[in-house]
Amino acid sequence: PFFVNSQVAEYSNGNLLNLDAVLAAEKDITAENISINAEILKDVMKIKTRTHDNEFDYTQNNNIDGESDGERAKAIAALRYTLIKVQDFGININERKDLFDPLKGGSTLTDNGMTIKGNTNGTTIDNYFKDTIDKLGVQAQEAKRIVKNQQSLLDSFNESRLSISGVSLDEEMANLIQFQHAYQANARIITVVDQLLEVIINGIIR
């Protein structure tokens, strides 16, 4: 297999030890545990491009091993244009068999299981991901717009609050200077009065 469940696959020097367990665990492959078969990473010539290939499959399943037989590779390439109900993955389609369930995925296998006949209610995987990216882009722009508007509202509310109950540093500084001048004026008056009283008292004593 090209993709394997990394939590199940066991290797020794790059060779897969438990093929039967790996094949049985294919239905449990998720985005968390999916990985490329280490044997293929070690030798890309092990990629099964032929319809049948005695060297890399169970012997009993092989009866044709033709030169230049790339039918399997072409079938994989054709999936790019196959209409599949990708939008239902994780909703109605949770396992491989659901893809070919008439009431769920609605796809069918043709050419002895080599070709997937698409569902007219589906979309190509390429278009699905493009649509998904477009939607994410629109949602991201909308989120930024909402954040910007909310920040403007928040700033406006803060300005209104400060205008009613807040403290203006400029205004407070002006008041402080005014009070300081008033204090200094009063201090001079007191000094003058004190001097006058001293003159009067000294005059009376004489």
pLDDT tens-digit map of 64-87: 545 566 777 788 888 888 888 888
Report the distance separating Cα 82 and Cα 123, nearest Å.
Answer: 7
| Mean pLDDT in residue range 195-203 | 82
Residue range 121-176, pLDDT digits in tens:
888 988 988 999 999 999 999 999 999 999 999 999 988 877 776 667 788 889 89
Say if residue 39's pLDDT is above 60. yes
Is the CB of residue 149 less than 8 Å from the CB of residue 108? no
Looking at every residue in the chain, the average pLDDT score rounds to: 81
Is the CB of residue 26 less than 8 Å from the CB of residue 5? yes
The SS3 call for residue 141 is helix
Structure tokens at 116: 């997937």
pLDDT for res 113: 64
Tell me the whole-structure pTM to 2 decimals: 0.49
Structure tokens at 183: 């204090």
Say if residue 62's pLDDT is above 80. no
pLDDT for res 65: 46
Report the distance separating Cα 57 and Cα 137, nearest Å.
Answer: 44
The SS3 call for residue 147 is helix
Report the distance separating Cα 79 and Cα 124, nearest Å.
Answer: 8
Q: What does the chain come to in residues? A: 206
Is the CB of residue 107 less than 8 Å from the CB of residue 84? yes
The SS3 call for residue 192 is helix
pLDDT for res 63: 47
